[in-house]
Amino acid sequence: MHLILLAFCSILFLFGCGSDEEPTPIEEEMPNYFPDAIGSRWVYLNSDGTQSTTEVNGKINIYGKIYRTSKNTPPPDDADLALLEPIYYRVTQNQVFVLVSGEIDQYVENELPAAVQDEFAGLELTVAAESISISELTYLQFPLTPNTQWEALNFKVNGNIILQNLALLQFPFEVVMRVTAEVVAEGPIETPAGHFEEVYQIEYRTEITQTLLSTSETIQDSQMLWFAPHVGIVKSESEDGGSELISYSLTGTTKE
């Protein structure tokens, strides 16, 4: 009898029967759709035949938050509102944030005087806006799934346009910027850099309403970006053209 019980317990031990311990599930690593290792570099072929590059070249502490810095060559035109061309950004477990305070300041300083230059031809115009300490655009929100939507940016700027630097000659303005994002498709894509699976196509819709001299004007724009896992942006399209990834070099990984 003792021999039988010993044999039975041995079988239970071998097959794990009778144990209260459950096997630990293996967590699947979430794909990184926005690599941020310093030294990583992407080269794109633009629709006009030119090439452009983006490189992660450092990090910086801004108001207690650590941002990666990227260098775009050639740099964006100062007249363009380049909200979706990150210069300072930070990657968290669930989101990617882009610092856009500088781009908003630049837009207000350049666009508002241009909008009223005909009414005040020959007069000196200056813009006095409320201070913008920090404003972030939610570039990505994980997990990425088709039809997912989120509000990427909702920001308002108030201030005055001052004529001839005279406090009595000033006109209030308001600028409201709103960017929404939606994952519109998921699937493979082919670019000069190769074939990519599980690529997410995201549409960003930008709406800017500026109120000045009792008149409101709304500008709308949209841009498509394709994100590949562990690679980043592999394609872009907008009304001004588009680009495709032709090569990339990530820290520890190279693809030509």
The residues spanned by each domain of the chain are 30-255
- Indicate the SS3 state at residue 26: coil
Query: Which neighbouring-strand residues pair with 88?
Result: 69
CA distances from 35 to 179, 205, 228 (A): 23, 23, 10
Q: Which residues contact 220 (CB under 8 A, 6 or more apart)?
A: 205, 206, 207, 208
CATH class for the domain made up of 30-255: mainly beta
Query: Which neighbouring-strand residues pair with 179?
Result: 153, 206
227 close to 34: Cβ distance less than 8 angstroms = yes
Tokens of 228: 């590949």
Residue 170 CA neighbour count, 13 Å, CB half: 15
Query: Which neighbouring-strand residues pair with 96?
Result: 91, 140
Q: How far apart are the first and last CA of the chain?
A: 71
Comparing C-alpha atoms, which of 255, 250, 145, 246 is closest to residue 200? 145
Tokens of 169: 């000659």
The pTM score is 0.81
pLDDT string in tens for the chain (256-residue length): 443 343 434 433 333 444 444 444 333 456 789 999 999 999 999 999 999 999 999 999 998 999 999 999 998 775 567 888 889 999 998 999 999 988 888 888 888 888 777 777 777 878 887 766 678 999 999 999 999 999 999 989 888 888 877 777 788 889 999 999 999 999 999 999 999 999 999 999 999 999 988 889 999 999 999 999 999 999 999 998 999 999 999 985 544 4
